[in-house]
Structure 1
């Protein structure tokens, strides 16, 4: 429950600190006095977005701080999951800087708005007139039924599985699209791959083939040149090799006379050996040379195939063709992998469908079982609120669609009077009837909820007299299990509270300020009398106020 609210430099409030107690508290005040400002400040603490217009003094920061007693509400797991320090008295602080930026803290640890909003779901429910209209929405109606059916854990399991199911469906659709697109190219890619596979390309073979082609294509010229070279080298009397050997013999005679001559001998010896080796190599080359037109044609065909493939794929080397071949092979392999992934995802989806159907079936069963309970409780409470002939008809039908909370569709029908047909709430219920139905709903949910605090913002719209008195009694009864606040214009409801706060607005010079004050017993009599009779308080109004309070 909320124990303290401090507001500084927000809207019409310069500085305010107020303490709250458990039970049933009333907040009253004239229209425009600032009740909405209090709720707005509290909304900021609970994670609503802020802007610079919230600041009373634009040069100073706005600070709103709320203290909550949470020891009885099993919130330790939330704090541990979000790496926050847990305190039985938890303090939430929101700061809006003059720059327009805002900061939020839980027990002095900085948090983002999402964390603040998640925690607020466990702390306070602020019920506004807008929420009364939401009662007509199927989502809200299901939330009421599911609270009574104790379906929350089952729905969380269902939603987690539904998220996986939708993710799998999305992946499957993407793969099927990719498969369809790939299939269009697959025939052509397979043709290209087959061409490359048949070519049996090897790295470096183009250079080898081109060299072999040049040899075979010029075999006669090459042989003629080699033979001529051998003749010059090996001529018996004037050949190069013969002359080198003669020079070597001559130098051997003088080598011992000087190191210089010995070096020359060594050099001519090396030259003789090298030239002799060249001559042998030329002989081997000559022996290997022969005219082979068939081999020449085969080499020419392979080179032409390589050149044609390079032109087709717009590359200039065999290595690049091999890379293209690998890419095409991977493409074909990838298509096979896509088919495997499609099968795996399809199996996963089918399994999830079975589990989703089982979970949604369990949710449906508990909902159907809870409908008579909700109908009976609503009817009982609304009879005390002046609706003796009220009837509800709730039909829950299983569909084939996976909604966020199950597979059910709900028809929530209402009739306020005998002899009238059932109709949708938003079409047949008046404002006063909607207010009473919502209060009945909140009263029922209070029996199933562990929420510490509930704030009713003018839920009494459209009612008065004895009905208002009974609404006050219901709220008072609810406050036995939770902290209840009621912002009201009705004295019948205001008189039921254990504590009574008044919002007022005053003008000091050029400045207008709102304040919230806890009324004493005497001040409370006057406030309720004023609610009964207006600004001129009569003795009758005072007596009536005292009677209501007693």
Structure 2
């Protein structure tokens, strides 16, 4: 006999101040009066499995809540999880969850901090909690499909299919977004092409506008400039009494006396230099005048060019020609990007087609496997239902093709049931009573115990709606399941409690001004009295004790 959960410690949770219990391998039962706090244990355990929580779970709002379990991992394939998340692995593992008074949640695996997703992942590998309301999941077709896949050993294949389906859907969304983007770009393409052609045809040159402005200013004043240059040239070297001639005359006057005085000689030299410079300036002015052209057609051409540049700068909100060139590059890149996106769209189409082909093949294989497993599962469930006093029960599993593929394939699954002779097979949600749903759910749990499963199964009152011989049969089945995995069953039925190898009683007591929940493991004598009390009520009679003894000895 083996088990996975070996110890549970809870502090400051709901009605629990502090409790620690040893958990045993095999089949354990938890009993207690209604409202005693049995579901509180499940709530605490759910924190270990990654359920979200807030400060409402704190018994003492000023202290943190701690839930801790010790697990025995030897023999269970969870090593990959520890390796993937870089966690220390040991045959014994401690999982702890803390909720602070401020509402902050912290989780630990072997004292290493982990996030809730990691906690959920490890929890799903170790523990399967079946709460009271989960029996209603039998009415849900997706749950029914999961049951069939679990029985057929397809769970890992379906998970892989789901992952690829999500990738395929992501590619589809990406393609849709890309098409929408391209559609907007195509609407603008003609305009962008026009803009780019217009800018390219302008043959823009950086700094061109300054050069144009300078040349235009020169041409606009060409006549005046030529006139002034001519006048200045005549005044310096061409008129009868020009400056150059006057300086030459002055030089002649000083030439005869320069040798008599050093100062005069220096002045002569200076005057000679001035004469040379004046002559040179006059000649340069004449040459400059010849270079300047009065050209109205050239002026008009330049003004038109500048007007065109100004118009482009205004249109594109550019401050100069360099900015226009940047705009032209941006438009060209945008058009090139559109071409790149067109190529990416074609690549996406190819990838989607390949994924669809792959998904189609996988989905077809899943359908074949499901159709092979469906009658086998139905037959096994019928056998178990007959054991649980549904003598005339018959089950069938209908598999139909969906018009649209889902993340689980192309199949729609429907559990069909009839419980009486002469009835037609009908969807289980239309024909099964509450007690019958409980028995079907237990049968499913029993069948899938032989498949891939979490080593610890916790059942919260799966016996709702049953009694008498049905309760006996369910108790026997639960005991058998406890031989294959660690089973913990919360129950109100004495028949099931009597079959437990280990028995825990939950009770609620008032101490001072507060109510407390306690959990104790019962010895044989205490078990006897607890089962007797479940049979007879508050007054435990000798007859009840005798009946309890008979139930317990029937193990």
Same fold (TM over 0.5): yes
Q: Note the 1:444-523 alignment, pairs <5 A.
A: 444-523=447-526
Residue 57 of structure 1 corresponds to 60
Structure 1 pair 222/387, CA: closer, same or farther in 2 (3 Å)? same
Is the aligned partner of 1:7 residue 2:10? Answer: yes
Structure 1 pair 261/413, CA: closer, same or farther in 2 (3 Å)? farther
Q: Give how far 1:216 is off.
A: 2.7
Instruction: Tell me, in whole angstroms, the C-alpha distance in 1 between the residues paired with 2:107 and 2:221.
Output: 88
Structure 1 runs not aligned, ≥5 long: none
**Residues 134 and 140 in structure 1, CA contact (< 8 A), matched pair in contact too:** yes
Instruction: Tell me, in whole angstroms, the C-alpha distance in 1 between the residues paired with 2:255 and 2:79.
Output: 106
Instruction: Tell me, in whole angstroms, the C-alpha distance in 2 between the residues paired with 1:237 and 1:412.
Output: 127
Work out which of the residue numbers 306, 315, 322 in structure 1 matches 2:309: 306
Q: Give how far 1:167 is off.
A: 1.6
Structure 1 pair 537/200, CA: closer, same or farther in 2 (3 Å)? same
Q: Note the 1:221-370 alignment, pairs <5 A.
A: 221-235=224-238, 281-370=284-373
**What is the root-mean-square deviation in Å for CA atoms of aligned residues?**
3.1
Instruction: Tell me, in whole angstroms, the C-alpha distance in 2 between the residues paired with 1:107 and 1:266.
Output: 106
Instruction: Tell me, in whole angstroms, the C-alpha distance in 2 between the residues paired with 1:415 and 1:321.
Output: 81
Residue 149 of structure 1 corresponds to 152
Structure 1 pair 516/293, CA: closer, same or farther in 2 (3 Å)? same
Residue 159 of structure 1 corresponds to 162
- Local SS of the residue matching 2:125: coil
Instruction: Tell me, in whole angstroms, the C-alpha distance in 1 between the residues paired with 2:547 and 2:318.
Output: 101
Q: Give how far 1:120 is off.
A: 0.8
Work out which of the residue numbers 428, 433, 441 in structure 1 matches 2:431: 428
Q: Give how far 1:3 is off.
A: 0.3
Instruction: Tell me, in whole angstroms, the C-alpha distance in 1 between the residues paired with 2:368 and 2:341.
Output: 40
- Local SS of the residue matching 1:396: strand
Work out which of the residue numbers 64, 69, 91 in structure 1 matches 2:94: 91
Please give the per-residue CA displacement for 1:151-205, whole angstroms capped at 9, x wherever unaligned: 2232232222222212211111112112222222333333333322222222111
Residue 531 of structure 1 corresponds to 534
Q: How many residues align?
A: 550
- Local SS of the residue matching 2:101: coil
Instruction: Tell me, in whole angstroms, the C-alpha distance in 2 between the residues paired with 1:153 and 1:265.
Output: 113
Q: Note the 1:111-122 alignment, pairs <5 A.
A: 111-122=114-125
Instruction: Tell me, in whole angstroms, the C-alpha distance in 2 between the residues paired with 1:22 and 1:423.
Output: 39
Q: Give how far 1:328 is off.
A: 2.6
Q: Give how far 1:23 is off.
A: 0.4
- Local SS of the residue matching 1:121: helix
Q: Give how far 1:259 is off.
A: 13
Structure 1 pair 324/503, CA: closer, same or farther in 2 (3 Å)? same
Residue 108 of structure 1 corresponds to 111
Choose 224-233 or 402-411, whichever is displaced more.
224-233
Work out which of the residue numbers 17, 20, 24 in structure 2 matches 1:17: 20
Residue 176 of structure 2 corresponds to 173
**Residues 237 and 279 in structure 2, CA contact (< 8 A), matched pair in contact too:** no
Structure 2 runs not aligned, ≥5 long: none
Work out which of the residue numbers 393, 404, 410 in structure 1 matches 2:396: 393
Q: Give how far 1:18 is off.
A: 0.5
